[in-house]
Amino acid sequence: MEMKMSYGSFKLRYLGLSLGLALSACGGGSSSPATNGTMDMAVTDAPSNSFNHVWVTLSGIAFHTDANATWGASTPGWLSFNLPTPVTIDLAALNNGIMNNAIFSQLSLPAGTYKQIRFFFLSDTDTLSSSAQALFDNETSPQPLQWNDQVEYTNAQGQVSESPLEIPYPVQGIQLQGSFTVTPGSPLNLATDFNLDKIIVPFRSGQTQSFTMKPDLAYFDLSQSGGITGTVDSSALCSGSVPASSCAFNLFVHAEQISADGSRYRDIRSTRVDPKTGQFTLAPLPKTDSSGNPVSYDVVVRGRQMQTLMVTGVPAAGAYSGVALTGATQISSTPLPITIESEYAAQMGAPLAPLTAGNVIFEQTPGSSSLPHEIRWTNTDPLTGELGRAGLAPWNQAFWLVNADPQIAAYNPGGLSFSATTPVEGNGAYSAIANESAFYNYGGSVSLNSSNALNFILPSPQIISPVQAGSVSGTIAFAAALPGNYTEGQIVLARFAHIISAIPINFVAYGTQNYTFTGVGSDVPSAYYYAYVRLDNCNTSAAHCTHKYYPVSGYADLRTSTSVSGMNISL
């Protein structure tokens, strides 16, 4: 198959691919060791009860001083570090303060302020790496990994299943933005948080469950970070594989702070509660703000079939020696109480618009003088814009809401005193609000309770000023014989190896079809996008649909305009 574009191509390539911990640097010029600093980049995770394992195969990392620089392996300004051989790690194992600091260690970077990091992965369609071949999946019947990037989960029937983790257009790398400064001779110890609940996005491919990744990453300076530890009453937690109605399960803990726009509390760091011991560790957490002032967090403990707990004003404490934390704040000397409560289901009545990839947050506001706090959070299906498909897998049950008021206590080292507080939304009620994946902010919220939570309609997210709503359009042409090999397909628009939106291909109408993406962020320096065609063959007895990617040469450049036309694809 051949894909043709009507404008100039922009060729990308992987960082050097090949297990070892030694790294080779390339690009970005050279500098004297006297003007360089060293950096360790640890990898950690805010885990998810939805996944048993999430394996990814890393091949390299790159840095740039310009937050809006486009990626190219030979583009000036990029400093790239290539792994001699790819390394496969299980992100789901890096939780409750556990880190992997052996992959990207002792990196030598010229002194300066860096504003962009890109992690590079092998894709699920690449030849299986030796590091992936050496690992085993499926705890009930071990077998080697099938893909370089792979998710293992327990489905709604209690069966362990595996699916590929699809990273769209991985040659772009997964982008992480922020700002850190390297100084001559001084070591810098950072940790990147791969928050599985937020970056691993489930979607439906034919009749099978698939997953993709999005670059919702954060990093922490370990020299400025501490943590918060605690325990919940483990006697109230479910012990069987099928939860009973008289116990709590899937418990998570969020450390939340007021968002930059002052509108709500947002999740800074999350972790799961150990379902056997009831213990949790929130780390790393910044102990001070950018001015050096101490900061505190509102800690939210939530789960299925349990009353939500909030502890306000909790400071992070402790110090890291390498990646080990000591002296963290103990939120309470006694286990936090668990009260079993009933639930009700919530589901959107219309797909997210104008783009399909985004998220929905369910919030509660504990008092008229407070702000909304995040209680539950979920991605939309990036191919359809829907909130999920009931019964397909356990994360679709994540939209169950506890029909109870939260229990709230102010942090007190001498002991916590919880009291039930009816939220502003009402008894057992929530506000729901949606956002898109790029250049958008939250739309208006709607109030949900047990009588109106099914088929609710959310106001559309709002594009951020001065970003303009742009469009990308073109045609796709294929021969009549092509659809016989595939059962469904989409034209996908991606940015930084993340799906922004998708348009289904009509396999009934052969020949040439027009397509247009609307509501795409434009007229700002980082508004450039890549496109590819994703085709599935689900007419098979195999456990998963087989799929192929066909990247479109070049990219849609909306940095100085509001529309790109002529993205013509020929299969």
> Which amino acid is located at 30 in the chain?
S
Residue 255 is predicted with a pLDDT of: 96
What letter would DSSP give residue 92? G
Most confident of 71-75, 176-180, 260-264, 426-430: 426-430
Residue 539 has pLDDT above 80, yes or no: no
DSSP helix/strand/coil, 394? helix
Work out the angle at residue 332's Cα, subtended by the Cα atoms of residues 290 and 422, and round it to the nearest 5 degrees: 85
pLDDT band for position 2 (cuts 50, 70, 90):
very low
Residue 17 has pLDDT above 60, yes or no: no
Identify the residue with better confidence: 43 or 111.
111
C-alpha Rg value of the chain to the nearest Å: 24
Identify the residue with better confidence: 208 or 424.
424
- Angstrom CA distances, 163 to 212, 229, 279, 542, stand at 10, 33, 30, 12
132 phi, psi to nearest 5 deg:
-75, -35
Unique residue bearing structure tokens 């008894």: 427
What letter would DSSP give residue 445? -
pLDDT in tens, 34-50: 688 888 787 765 556 67
- Lowest mean pLDDT across 15-29, 200-214, 253-267, 535-549: 15-29
Q: Where are the alpha helices (DSSP H) in 47-173?
A: 130-133
Residue 8 is predicted with a pLDDT of: 26
Complete DSSP assignment for 342-386: -EEE-EESS---SSS-EEEEEEE--STTS--EEEEEEEPPTTT--
Residue 330 has pLDDT above 70, yes or no: yes
Residue 176 is predicted with a pLDDT of: 79
Distance CA(474)–CA(516), nearest Å, equals 7
pLDDT in tens, 64-92: 999 888 887 788 899 998 888 998 988 87
CB hemisphere CA count around 487 (13 angstroms): 13
- Angstrom CA distances, 460 to 323, 388, 479, 563, stand at 42, 18, 37, 21
**Helix (H), strand (E) counts: the chain:** 2, 45
Unique residue bearing structure tokens 């390539």: 13
The token pair that represents 247 in the structure block: 């116990």
Residue 96 is predicted with a pLDDT of: 54
Residue 23 is predicted with a pLDDT of: 53
Residue 448 is predicted with a pLDDT of: 96
Evaluate whether 90 touches 53 at the Cβ level (below 8 Å).
yes
Identify the residue with better confidence: 170 or 393.
170
Identify the residue with better confidence: 354 or 550.
354
- Angstrom CA distances, 522 to 69, 104, 175, 225, 235, stand at 16, 34, 18, 36, 53
Element (H, E) at 199: helix 196-199
DSSP helix/strand/coil, 141? coil
Dihedral of CA 441/444/447/451: which sign?
Answer: negative
The rounded percent of the chain whose pLDDT value lies above 90 is 40
- Lowest mean pLDDT across 203-212, 338-347, 497-506: 203-212
Residue 139 is predicted with a pLDDT of: 63
Element (H, E) at 462: strand 462-463
pLDDT in tens, 444-489: 999 999 999 988 999 999 999 999 999 999 998 877 666 667 778 8
The token pair that represents 464 in the structure block: 């951020």
Q: What is the mean pLDDT of the chain?
A: 82
Identify the residue with better confidence: 83 or 248.
248
Neighbours of 481 (CB within 10 A): 8
Residue 19 has pLDDT above 80, yes or no: no
Q: Which residues contact 309 (CB under 8 A, 6 or more apart)?
A: 300, 301, 302, 336, 337, 406, 407, 408, 409, 418
Distance CA(140)–CA(162), nearest Å, equals 12
Distance CA(244)–CA(229), nearest Å, equals 27
Evaluate whether 125 touches 64 at the Cβ level (below 8 Å).
no
The rounded percent of the chain whose pLDDT value lies above 70 is 84
Evaluate whether 320 touches 284 at the Cβ level (below 8 Å).
yes
Residue 11 has pLDDT above 80, yes or no: no
Residue 506 has pLDDT above 60, yes or no: yes
Residue 493 has pLDDT above 80, yes or no: yes
Residue 104 is predicted with a pLDDT of: 78
What letter would DSSP give residue 486? -
Residue 525 has pLDDT above 60, yes or no: yes
Identify the residue with better confidence: 212 or 191.
212
N residues, the chain: 571
Bridge partners, residue 109, by sequence: 37
- Lowest mean pLDDT across 109-123, 208-222, 257-271, 556-570: 208-222
Evaluate whether 209 touches 285 at the Cβ level (below 8 Å).
no
- Angstrom CA distances, 210 to 159, 202, 350, stand at 16, 6, 21
Q: Which residues contact 507 (CB under 8 A, 6 or more apart)?
A: 483, 486, 487, 488, 489
The residue ranges of every structural domain in the chain are: 24-216+465-570, 222-463
pTM of this structure? 0.84
Residue 307 is predicted with a pLDDT of: 97
Over residues 334-342, the mean pLDDT reads 96
